[in-house]
Amino acid sequence: MPAAMDRQRHRELLGRTSMAKKLKSAFVDNLYECYECGSYDWIELHHIFGGSNRKHSEECGYILPLCHRCHNEPPNGVHHNKAKRREYQRMAQEHFEIDHTRTEFILLFGRNYLDMEDI
């Protein structure tokens, strides 16, 4: 059963299901190429704002295609690299603030990433 679930998740990430086909990125047109290294292998979709903000990331297009190494492998994968994670969060906030206010961003995503000094 877990192997079947893994295959299903991989199909979703590759855009072979209706859910993944609806996802779009505000930053790239090609969801099959790693945003970081350009690889086409083992692509996973990274939600820039996860957890309770995952749906907001999807609605705003704050999704990046990353190969597994750039996404979830230490030490440089975004889930293990706070500086890279903050870089993406700041990039998304700057994009959001093109058409919206900072207050609207904070109300939606819960904090201001542009003024954070925690890197």
Q: What's the pLDDT at 116?
A: 76
Count Cβ neighbours within 10 Å for each residue of 56-87 and write b for 16 or more, e otherwise: bbbebbbbbbbbebbbeeeeebbeeeeebbbe
Grouping H, G, I as helix, E, B as strand and the rest as coil, residue 45 is strand
| pLDDT tens-digit map of 54-80 | 999 999 999 999 999 999 999 999 999
| Alpha helix ranges (H) inside the chain | 2-13, 18-22, 54-60, 68-72, 82-96, 102-109
Model confidence at 19, in pLDDT bands (50, 70, 90)? very low
pLDDT of residue 70: 98
